[in-house]
Chains A and B, each alone.
Chain A
């Protein structure tokens, strides 16, 4: 017990510092040099202060969004891998991201114009799509018998993924080519949130999910021994699986609505963390969230710098880093 607590504190402090350093350093880095003193100079009128606007509108929201999305996707990855008892599971396996993508792409192709509480039509439609996907997958998983079968869940999720992907291709095919270009762009991921509105919109769901995440680790440790073994040790297996499924899916939906489907975080970060801290979910889950935040913040900085002034979609950076890393991981485990 105390040993776990000590290790948890140790790792949290370490990774927390890394994440904090990234969060503080990233707004200072960019394709242009800004004068920090001027940026924080309250004497200058805000409307004239280019440095302040670069810092507070162009950079800081991106860094916060990257931290939120990175932490969400990494933690969701850990939870899904535990839920489905499969190290290859990602937050996108069960079709949540495909549902979010379908919503966003419909909004872009239909050129929807409405805004709700500072949330654009694309973000709102994307969230609706993800919630729809979660509902369908859950209904399918429950349809077979009153319990909750992770096998059916996996099959339903993968099938829904394919179905939504087909619908996405269909919409792209029949839409105006100009809109199709925009949809392709959205699918590559984009953390360029100008302003704090989209972040605040994603915050409620994310916080709720993280509260649930706080409750899960001990149960997930026991679940990894098998459903029966866990049940015999007093874990309410179905309740745990339901909480895990909903919290991880909803946080994924919020993250994808905010920044698009940014891949590889949900699979690299959990594995990387397990390499460092072991398999105890009580440490892996918070550590993954912190490392995920730091990782995506760094990837976003690279996305801004690599081809400046042209901005590279951050999903490309995570894929370029993630792909080879994942191959190395697979080869290493032989």
Chain B
């Protein structure tokens, strides 16, 4: 019955309930602490390395299936990678920042629906490595640390660049993939991307620098015509035995008219850091410089 007493009672009860809810609500935290991510999931190995080098390693709770560096990541759970990110596993770890690839639109949309902030990562030129480091630092509330790490990388790279500056620049073929033991399906670096930038920095002239693509399939004909003086071949595993390396190098002997083959300047580089545009680009740059100017850069 809607008597006057009943209406007052209901009003009072509602007011009390509201007061209780407001009183037990969360106390105000400072805006900065609320925004600094503490549980980070990284799907990009190069960004994982950036996080660890900045000192944010302890905040990383999970990494991708292809993360191998630094050694600490071996203890962390894996959540898939570019093609197969495990959304359920990611969410179960309650992250407050997920680092995704720029092309993972689907994943980013789903994470946004779950109110999980994301950091979209795209790799491009060499400069993007330090740019990403600085952006990441700002996002993590470690801007000054990130700045010093990035500046350190830039200084190391500059040191290499200056060292080889006065040398002649050999025409270089930068092979990023090829069918094992044969000269089929040769993928080389074109004039775009961090590998091309590293090659130019290390004092080489990319013979395919005029083709503005990151990876191009070339025929033996074009290699013969462009006549590189040095062939740099990248392999993303640890170095196998000497015999296997020699056998792999011997595949190039078919094109004996190429200056690099004639003068024995076919250099095979091994290491998984070669394909990662992360903090270890300095290592890659040094490896390139050593291969291109062996007299100048002793091991």
Contacts and interface: CB of A to CB of B under 8 A. Distances in A.
B105 interface: no
Contacts, number: 109
Interface in A286-319: 304, 308-311, 313
A62 to B, nearest CB: 8
Nearest to B227: A50
B83 A192 contact: no
B220 interface: yes
A113 B180 contact: yes
A202 to B, nearest CB: 14
Nearest to B81: A177
B244 interface: yes
Contact of B177 (A46, A178, A304, A311): A178
Given A178-B236, A310-B217, A53 B255 contact: yes
B244 A58 contact: no
A31 B222 contact: yes
Interface in B180-223: 180-185, 187, 208, 211, 213, 216-222
Contact of B185 (A47, A176, A182): A182
Contact of B221 (A46, A59, A313): A59
Contact of A190 (B185, B216, B244, B255): B185
Given A173-B84, A178-B177, A310-B216, A32 B257 contact: no
B122 interface: no
B69 interface: no
A195 interface: yes
Nearest to B208: A309
A47 B218 contact: no
Interface string B237-281: 100000010000000001111000010000000000001000000
B4 to A, nearest CB: 70
Contacts of A178: 177, 236, 275
A125 to B, nearest CB: 12
A48 interface: yes
Given A47-B262, A177-B82, A192-B185, A54 B224 contact: yes
Contact of B256 (A53, A122, A308): A53
Interface string A84-127: 00000000000000000000000010011101000011100000
B22 interface: no
Nearest to B253: A47
B220 A194 contact: yes
Counting chain A CB atoms within 10 Å of each CB, the highest count among B82, B208, B218, B220 belongs to B220
A48 B257 CA distance: 5
Say what secondary structure dominates the interface of chain B: loop
A120 B225 contact: no
A311 B257 contact: no
Contact of B219 (A112, A176, A181, A311): A311
A138 interface: no
Contacts of A112: 180
Contacts of A121: 180-181
A195 B224 CA distance: 14
Interface residues on B, range: 35 or more
Interface string A40-72: 000000111110111001110000000000000
B179 interface: yes
Nearest to B215: A181
B185 A54 contact: no
Contacts of A32: 221-222, 225
B256 A113 contact: no
A78 to B, nearest CB: 29
Nearest to B226: A309
Contacts of A148: none
A308 B179 contact: no
A132 interface: no
Contacts of B183: 194-195
B180 A120 contact: yes
Contact of A46 (B83, B222, B244, B256): B256
Given A173-B84, A177-B82, A192-B220, A53 B181 contact: no
A30 interface: yes
Interface in A147-189: 173-174, 176-178, 180-182, 185-186
B40 to A, nearest CB: 22
Contacts of A120: 179-182, 184
Interface of A: 30-32, 46-50, 52-54, 57-59, 108, 111-113, 115, 120-122, 173-174, 176-178, 180-182, 185-186, 190, 192-195, 304, 308-311, 313
5 contacts: A193-B184, A194-B183, A309-B219, A309-B222, A310-B217
6 nearest interchain CB pairs? A58-B221, A194-B183, A47-B256, A58-B220, A309-B222, A53-B257
